[in-house]
Amino acid sequence: MKLHLLLLGFLAGGQDREEVETLVARLASARFEVVSEARAALMDAPSESVRAALVQGLDSASPLVRERSADLLGTIGDPSDFQSVFARLILEPQSEVQVRLARAAARLGDGAERFVEAQSTGRISEAVFRIFQRERLLRLLQGLLRDGSIPGFYDGQFEGLRSLGPGLVDQLFWIGSHPTLNLSLRGMAVAAIGSFGDSSDVIRLDEAFMLEPSDEIELLTESSTERGDRARAQLSQYARWAAWRLGETSLSLEPIRELERRFEQEPSKYLTRAAEYLFQIGYGYLRLRLLDDARKAFRRYVQLYDSGMGVHLSSVHYNLACIASLRGEVALAIDELRLARKNGFTDMGWLLEDRDLENIRNDARFRAFLEER
């Protein structure tokens, strides 16, 4: 059958088994356009019959069909296909196909324990295990983002990564250092080192990510800072938070104390950047759970910018609500949430997820606040 006629019938909904298997067989073609058309048809009409044919393709005599079937399953498959992909990986002799199978398995579901066991018993190579581990780690970190951004940090946030086995910290360092990856993803990786590393990793964090405190301050607070330099400064912040989680407090406090020192000694010089300084001071202390210091900085911000001119005003009131919640001050937390909403806070769904608000979430006053308009 001519390929273009087969495609027309397939995309129109006539997906009989023979047509699907013919398309999978076309994946062995050396012609780019033939493979591209077959892939497009299979991806545009995913169904149980397509997935079954791709699983069958994993046992093809052609390495190209096995490799490309694995790629497609990783894209349009579902978690029920993990077992077939994993079983094929254990038997697969071709290294390039092993790589594609490992990536597909990472996309299909959480089978980390099986990969750890298979690597420890020699059924898969360490290289293939690392490919699965990194791919799975990237997907799990992506799942922790909210609308592509870091939603803050809290205890237990990275617990789901623990099953990925030995070498996890090295993978986190790799992701954090990779310049082409999304900054939020890199930031999550650096922060997660604080949950799985040890004291020796504090030195690695310092060498890999931390800037001099004065440089970090300038890059975070100067409005003309270029995007790449600001990214370096943000990663430096995340590294300091991770170091604090590993027991090193001095590195974490250095830039915050320096910010305060500058602001207190020469307030007129830094007044034009007071908003950014005070926000960074307050948020830095809040991350380290130094709540009195955080509240002091945020309240000073409000004193300066209560007119609504402060660019972070909604976030400041939100963070003040978090501090009040952490202290069990329910009424004050609700008042601060109202002020956050008044000044532009709109992500009401996050209120139901933020761990800092757990102390007030079951209170009737919080539920009443959510119903207010």
Homologous superfamily of the 3-134 domain (CATH): Leucine-rich Repeat Variant (1.25.10.10)
Neighbours of 308 (CB within 10 A): 10
Going by pLDDT thresholds of 50, 70 and 90, the confidence category of residue 222 is confident
pTM: predicted TM-score of the whole model, two decimal places: 0.79
Instruction: Using pLDDT thresholds of 50, 70 and 90, give the confidence band for residue 184.
Output: very high
Residue 11 has pLDDT above 50, yes or no: no
Q: CA angle 234-170-110, nearest 5°? A: 100
Total residues found in the chain within this entry: 373
Q: Model confidence at 8, in pLDDT bands (50, 70, 90)? A: very low
Q: Average pLDDT, stretch 176-196?
A: 95
Q: How far apart are CA 289 and CA 292, in angstroms?
A: 9
* pLDDT above 70 (res 208): yes
Q: Name the more confident of 154 and 4.
A: 154
**pLDDT for position 255:** 83
Mean pLDDT of 22-47: 88
Residue 4's pLDDT is 44
Residue 10 pLDDT exceeds 60: no
pLDDT at 13 > cutoff 60 = no
- 274: pLDDT confidence band, cut at 50, 70 and 90? low
Closest CA to 128 of 97, 152, 155: 97
Average pLDDT for the chain: 87
Residue 81 has a CB neighbour count (10 Å cut-off) of 22
> Quick one: pLDDT at residue 12?
41
Cα(101)–Cα(125) distance, rounded to whole angstroms? 13
How many CB atoms are closer than 10 A to CB 331? 11
- Express as a percent the part of the chain with pLDDT over 70: 90
CA separation for the pair 125, 121 (Å, rounded): 9
- Find the helix or strand (DSSP H, E) in which 319 lies: helix 313-326
Evaluate whether 137 touches 172 at the Cβ level (below 8 Å): yes
Q: With CA atoms as reference, report the closest residue to 107 among 81, 146, 69.
A: 81
CA–centroid distance for 352 within its chain: 19
- pLDDT 10s digits, 136-156: 999 999 999 877 788 777 778
With contact defined as beta carbons under 8 Å apart, do 261 and 276 qualify?
Answer: no
Q: 64 Cβ partners below 8 Å, 6+ apart?
A: 27, 28
* Highest mean pLDDT out of 27-36, 273-282, 309-318: 27-36
222: left (phi over 0), alpha (psi -120 to 50) or beta: beta
Q: Where are the domains of the chain?
A: 3-134, 290-373
Beta bridge partners of 241: none
Distance CA 230, CA 216 (A): 8
- Angle of the 95-108 helix axis to the 82-91 helix axis, nearest 10: 160
SS3 for 98-145 is HHHHHHHHHHHCCCHHHHHHHHHCCCCCHHHHHHHHHHHHHHHHHHHC
Would you state the pLDDT for residue 219? Answer: 83
pLDDT bucket at 44, cuts 50 / 70 / 90: confident
Query: Which pLDDT score is estimated for 56?
Result: 94
- pLDDT for residue 283: 84
Residue found under tokens 């800092």: 356
Reported as a pLDDT band with limits 50, 70 and 90, residue 22 is: confident
Confidence of residue 7 (pLDDT cuts 50, 70, 90): very low
pLDDT digits (tens, 9 = 90+) for 313-363: 888 999 999 999 999 999 999 999 999 999 888 888 888 888 899 999 999
